[in-house]
Amino acid sequence: MELISSNKSHGGTQGVYSHLSEATGTEMTFSVFVPPHEDGQVLPVLWYLSGLTCTHANVTEKGEYRAACAEHGIVFVAPDTSPRGADVPDADDEYDFGKGAGFYLDATKEPWSTHYRMRSYVEDELPALIARSFPVDMERQAITGHSMGGHGALTIGLRNPERFRSISAFSPIVAPIQSPWGEKAFSRYLGDDQSTWAQYDAVSLIEGGARPAALLVDQGTADDFLSEQLKTGLLALACRKAGIDAAIRMQEGYDHSYFFISTFMAEHVAWHARHLKG
Amino acid sequence: MELISSNKSHGGTQGVYSHLSEATGTEMTFSVFVPPHEDGQVLPVLWYLSGLTCTHANVTEKGEYRAACAEHGIVFVAPDTSPRGADVPDADDEYDFGKGAGFYLDATKEPWSTHYRMRSYVEDELPALIARSFPVDMERQAITGHSMGGHGALTIGLRNPERFRSISAFSPIVAPIQSPWGEKAFSRYLGDDQSTWAQYDAVSLIEGGARPAALLVDQGTADDFLSEQLKTGLLALACRKAGIDAAIRMQEGYDHSYFFISTFMAEHVAWHARHLKG
């Protein structure tokens, strides 16, 4: 693991790191904020998965999470959204597929299957590295994310309920198999056999019996992607049918940007803190 | 005035605007955050002046001021740092002179004197536009800034004590005429007659009798520019000699970045709020 940068912030340390990933076969970059803490103390971890076109940097610069993480004593980890590098196949001029658009799945179709293995990376490899390298208590983890990363947080969280005490999301793609972004990505990463898609679809996972320990979603009503891509209502419906007591909040006048995310970030961190420390 | 973008954030509106400036003879871009407020209510204004290489965007994205401004009911205005555009002369490959480095002065030497008039722009023209266009109470203004913008905040604040109830700065250049950045910029913008430089030098202004209504400075001890360029100690000395009760705080381990600024931004906003509302 190589240190790219380290800056003192809000009493803690905002670091950016890179390492050679086995899962993706590429150099991967991620950021970790470690709040002020006592020597020897281990802290709960909040994972943040980013959206289309993003790297670790967007939330690290614009997310406004450090004050809340410092207050509540939570380590904040932000991975990249796809493999990167000259060897990694990409889709030219497509912001919603290829680099920056890994969709937190393990691709099974060539040429994507060699490097596009963000599920294994975020579910297995990076947690092991974080556990080895930072003062964390991996028994206390929570996950959140934005848009495509909200989809990642929901699906990874729902598939691993023993690992995550709470799941939240900002404007998530709740049912990618019913959205143009998801249909496009899944058909190319996973192929046309849609039976392999459901494991990457939050609504399908809930319909199949998955249950989150705790679930909070914020969605702006002025989000241009709401009706075609995000479809928050499908998650609300699935939760209602499944008897899941989720907080799914429509936030009046907010859009899809970090101006929205940063508004509710402190609330999400505090909500996760209650579950992580309870 | 043209609206570039508008995003709801922290209950208020983060806008970015452009207009044709008489002072600079160019299109100028700035950002304004208007917090939630009642119809007809007017709010105090906090000006934020940015540092070398920056535009309005750096603090708008990374400054973490909106939560505090929403809490305290303060309008936050962030101008650009220089004129821009194809017609504006620039210094190639120099980050510390020309575009992005206006130093909040009115240049008197050609070719800079036509467009590089950031003093007139920030002191006169933009306040008039803000007063006409936003729900502000111009009787209640405060000013802050970072690095070159800290220099701007200090000098504009000290020259206009009747206008600013409080002045703060993050890692300001406190005595540009004693720093390589300032010497380079002033000699080219203003010429070699150093008698014209003192009006743009905070330490000289204080030595000449200027008094701030209230003054707060935060400076990181791990800031690479501290000893050569910023020289915080010269401000502390000038304040002590002048009997100015300033809070000049050395912040252990912090650097020159927005990771530092954002750490103390909420405190600065709250401190200004006390002066603006007292």
Question: What are the 10-residue block averages of pLDDT along chain A, 278 residues in total?
Answer: 98 98 98 98 98 98 98 98 96 94 98 98 98 98 98 98 97 98 98 96 98 97 98 98 98 98 98 93
Phi, psi torsion values for B63, nearest 5 degrees: -80, -20
Task: Express each pLDDT in B110-167 by its tens digit.
Answer: 999 999 999 999 999 999 999 999 999 999 999 999 999 999 999 999 999 999 999 9
CB B254 within 8 A of CB B217: no
Q: What was the pLDDT predicted at B145?
A: 98
Task: Express each pLDDT in B199-231 by its tens digit.
Answer: 999 999 999 999 999 999 999 999 999 999 999
| CB neighbours of residue B266 within 10 Å | 18
d(CA A8, nearest CA chain B) in Å: 5
CA angle B90, B53, B81 (to 5 degrees): 80
CB A106 within 8 A of CB A123: no
CA dist B6 and A267 (Å) reads 23
CB A155 within 8 A of CB A182: no
- A72 in active site: no
* B-proximal residues of A, 235-254, CB under 8 Å: 253-254
Average pLDDT of the residues in B86-106: 95
Q: What was the pLDDT predicted at B182?
A: 98
Cβ contact, residue pair B9, A262, below 8 Å = yes
The answer to whether residue A187 neighbours chain B at the CB level (below 8 Å) is: no
The answer to whether residue B31 neighbours chain A at the CB level (below 8 Å) is: no
d(CA A245, nearest CA chain B) in Å: 26
Average pLDDT of the residues in B28-40: 98
List of chain B residues whose C-beta atoms are within 8 Å of the C-beta of residue A254: 8-9
| CB neighbours of residue B190 within 10 Å | 22
| Superfamily per CATH, domain A2-276 | Alpha/Beta hydrolase fold, catalytic domain (3.40.50.1820)
Q: What was the pLDDT predicted at B92?
A: 85
3-state secondary structure chain A: CEEEEEEEECCEEEEEEEEECCCCCCEEEEEEEECCCCCCCCEEEEEEECCCCCCHHHHHHHCCCHHHHHHHCCEEEEECCCCCCCCCCCCCCCCCCECCECCCCECCCCCCCCCCEHHHHHHHHHHHHHHHHCCEEEEEEEEEEECHHHHHHHHHHHHCCCCEEEEEEECCCCCHHHCHHHHHHHHHHHCCCHHHCHHHCHHHHHHCCCCCCCEEEEEECCCCCHHHHHCHHHHHHHHHHHCCCCEEEEECCCCCCHHHHHHHHHHHHHHHHHHHHC
Q: What was the pLDDT predicted at B228?
A: 98
* A-proximal residues of B, 77-136, CB under 8 Å: none
Is the pLDDT assigned to residue B255 strictly greater than 80?
yes
Cβ contact, residue pair A220, B8, below 8 Å = yes
CB A4 within 8 A of CB A18: yes
The partner residue sitting opposite B8, judged by closest CB among A62, A66, A255, is A255
Of A48, A22, A19, the C-alpha closest to A33 is A48
Which residues lie below 8 Å from residue A90, measured CB to CB, with a gap of 6+?
A98, A99
List of chain A residues whose C-beta atoms are within 8 Å of the C-beta of residue B260: 7-9
Locus of tokens 């609504």: A203
Residues of B with a known catalytic role: 147, 223, 256
A263 token code pair: 């508004």
Structure ipTM over 0.90, yes or no: yes
A111 token code pair: 């040429």
Mutate to test the interface with A, among B263, B265, B268 (most CBs of A within 10 A): B263
CB B135 within 8 A of CB B43: yes
Pairing, β A215-220 against β A164-170: parallel
3-state secondary structure chain B: CEEEEEEEECCEEEEEEEEECCCCCCEEEEEEEECCCCCCCCEEEEEEECCCCCCHHHHHHHCCCHHHHHHHCCEEEEECCCCCCCCCCCCCCCCCCECCECCCCECCCCCCCCCCEHHHHHHHHHHHHHHHHCCEEEEEEEEEEECHHHHHHHHHHHHCCCCEEEEEEECCCCCHHHCHHHHHHHHHHHCCCHHHCHHHCHHHHHHCCCCCCCEEEEEECCCCCHHHHHCHHHHHHHHHHHCCCCEEEEECCCCCCHHHHHHHHHHHHHHHHHHHHC
Of A232, A214, A220, the C-alpha closest to A263 is A220
CA dist A250 and A231 (Å) reads 12
The answer to whether residue B37 neighbours chain A at the CB level (below 8 Å) is: no
CB A270 within 8 A of CB B71: no
List of chain A residues whose C-beta atoms are within 8 Å of the C-beta of residue B7: 255, 257, 259-260
CA dist B65 and B74 (Å) reads 10
Q: Which of A201, A204, A223, A268 is catalytic?
A: A223
CB A132 within 8 A of CB A122: no
Q: What was the pLDDT predicted at A92?
A: 85
Cβ contact, residue pair B8, A266, below 8 Å = no
Which residues lie below 8 Å from residue B190, measured CB to CB, with a gap of 6+?
B105, B107, B108, B109, B196, B197, B200
Q: What was the pLDDT predicted at B178?
A: 98
